[in-house]
Amino acid sequence: MAVESWNSFRHKQMEARLTEDDKDYFDSLIEDRVASGEKIMPQLRNIKDSEYLKKVWGWERLLPYDGSVAWSHCINYLENYYYNCNAHEQVPGAAAATGAAELCFATEADLICESLRHGADLTDYLVDQSCEIRMCALSLMYCSPDHSVAAATAMVGITKETQTMHEWMIKRKRPLDGFNMPEELMYGHVIRYSTLDLMRSILEKSFFAPVGDGDATASAEAAKTTRNWELPERRGRGTPK
């Protein structure tokens, strides 16, 4: 299905579920955004309407996931994001999860190296977090086909925020403190840790999918590997003692 027709079909589906309260909420956000000239992060419960999201938040960044909406709504949002942010051009087709995982894996490695280059400890929060993101990305390469687009979307979204943090460190020549993030990176920080939770959820959903083919079996093994992996004790910079 062409992107335009797919978006039109999805919008009609979501519009039917949007309540008057939701519309009033988004209308007020749009007015605030017009007045301030800034994007406003809407509540996750309002991911059901792509046109409102486009006006208020846009498709450049993922909305943080907190598990407060039905999984089906979350998947619809991720699929919508996949096409609207042009992720389908970066990581197209059946290989979406694999391509996104490779990109995510490499970008997190860049963040780790840049952090260490500027004096971060191996057990710093962001280094730990990047290691876990890499483990999840590696596992999601083998997720079940019906979760491939959602997995790719999550990894593309988290990669965008990682690239921004990496560029920030290069420019300022110092590491980031995961517990004292600069204001301009706070949205990205929230998106990163919430999207990591989303990646875990996708992995779990894929892990518990009916095992009937090689992809499902590989996904199950990958999920076990990620779940059993433990972070080292956190003692580094920016980590509570």
What are 106-146's pLDDT values in tens digits? 999 999 999 999 999 988 999 999 999 999 999 998 888 88
**97, exposed or middle or buried, with CB in 10 Å at 0-12, 13-18, 19+?**
buried
Distances in Å between the Cα of 219 and the Cα atoms of 29, 84, 97, 109, 163 are 40, 27, 12, 23, 27
Task: Choose among 48, 140, 59: nearest CA to 100.
Answer: 140
The angle formed by the CA atoms of residues 13, 18 and 19, to the nearest 5 degrees, is 150
DSSP state letter for 123: T
Rounded CA-CA distance 194/202 in Å is 13
**pTM check: above 0.85:** no
Interval 10-47: pLDDT, tens: 444 444 455 656 667 667 766 776 666 667 677 666 66
> How big is the chain, counted in residues?
241
